[in-house]
Amino acid sequence: MMPIQRRNFKDVYPVSTSRKLGFGHIINSSIMLSNDQCQYFLFQLLRGLKYLHSAGILHRDLKPGNLLVNGKCDLKICDFGLARTNNAKGQFMTEYVVTRWYRAPELLLSCDNYGTSIDVWSVGCIFAELLGRKSIFPGTDCLNQLKLILNVLGTMSDDDLEFIGNMKARKYIKSLSYTAGIPLTRMYPQAHPLAIDLLQKMLVFDPSKRISVTEALEHPYMSVLYDPGANPPAQAPIDLDIDEKLGVEMIREMLWQEMLQYP
């Protein structure tokens, strides 16, 4: 299921085929990326995220620095320090997650009942950064972040604000000056039309209207790579509360034993 030719970076970028670097190094480099490469990077990210979501896991901190890539264009998701199970009973879900530039509107607006769509928004921001080679929403603070988002997406209708439970937050959004938004085709004129269409479906203000990871994988832009039969979901939810069940000393011992298996 990989009819594209993956470019090997080893001749143009100082990284071995086995060593992995943060994906931000690729985005900020002078390497020219083809549509096929952008497509393949996004596919790997979505495929990994689909598995996490099927296991009931929210990553909650997706950004280029938490993605690793090697000279063969293999991409891995890392740093699960802020990951939580989705809608776990009794678990406090805070908005103080996700690096600001990749933070979904529902988090910026202090919604505490968010779900997997926050990761989809982050993927959209990463994808936009991959296409434009710079951050799409480089906010200086939360309010500035919201303004930058609305400058691109345009002023929201009342229906698009229904998900905001905090009336003060909803009132603030309505108080902002009208903006027609900026077409993504103008921001990324060299991008494939299907890439723009998928990006638009990821960067949707209302989380209930945002595309899911599975729907993104089924999008025509991903059709040359995605095979549902080759990308099965997790067999069962993953329990992240191992620290409470095993204890610190047991976890240290398990990590040490695993480390001994590698040279």
Q: What is the largest CA-CA distance in the chain?
A: 60
> Per-residue pLDDT for 6 more than 80?
no
Please spell the DSSP secondary structure of 14-57, one letter per residue.
Answer: S--SS--EEHHHHHTSS----HHHHHHHHHHHHHHHHHHHHTTE
At 24 the pLDDT is 84
The gap from C-alpha 94 to its chain's centroid, in whole angstroms, comes to 18
- For residue 224, the domain's CATH number is 1.10.510.10
> Per-residue pLDDT for 15 more than 60?
no
Instruction: State the average pLDDT over residues 185-190.
Output: 96
Better pLDDT: 147 or 84: 147
Check the CA dihedral 225-230-233-238 and report its sign: negative
Q: 58 falls in which pLDDT band (50, 70, 90)? A: confident
Specify if 233 maps to a domain.
Answer: no
Please, is 244 exposed, middle or buried when counting C-beta atoms within 10 Å of its C-beta (0-12, 13-18, 19+)? Answer: exposed
At 95 the pLDDT is 45
Specify if 148 maps to a domain.
Answer: yes
Better pLDDT: 97 or 260: 260
At 86 the pLDDT is 66
Specify if 3 maps to a domain.
Answer: no
**Which percentage of the chain shows pLDDT scores above 70?**
79
Q: Are strands 57-58 and 84-85 parallel, antiparallel or unpaired?
A: antiparallel
The per-residue pLDDT for range 92-149, each reduced to its tens digit, is 444 455 689 999 999 999 887 788 999 999 999 999 999 999 999 999 999 999 999 9
- Residue 135 corresponds to which amino acid? S
Specify if 11 maps to a domain.
Answer: no
Instruction: State the average pLDDT over residues 245-262.
Output: 79
3-class secondary-structure state, position 172? helix
At 23 the pLDDT is 84
Specify if 169 maps to a domain.
Answer: yes
Whose CA is closest to 205, among 125, 149, 139?
A: 149
| Number of domains into which the chain is organized | 1
Better pLDDT: 87 or 131: 131
Distance CA 260, CA 263 (A): 7
Active-site residue set: 61
- Reported in sequence order, the residue ranges of the chain that DSSP labels E, i.e. its strands, are 21-22, 57-58, 67-69, 75-77, 84-85
Specify if 86 maps to a domain.
Answer: yes
- Look up the domain containing 138 and give its range: 21-228+238-258
At 242 the pLDDT is 53
Better pLDDT: 228 or 210: 210
Instruction: State the average pLDDT over residues 255-262.
Output: 84
Specify if 8 maps to a domain.
Answer: no
> Per-residue pLDDT for 91 more than 70?
no
Specify if 5 maps to a domain.
Answer: no
Range in 47-56, 148-157, 210-219, 236-245 the model is least confident about: 236-245
The per-residue pLDDT for range 171-181, each reduced to its tens digit, is 999 999 999 99
> Per-residue pLDDT for 43 more than 50?
yes
> Beta-carbon neighbour count of residue 17 at 10 Å?
12
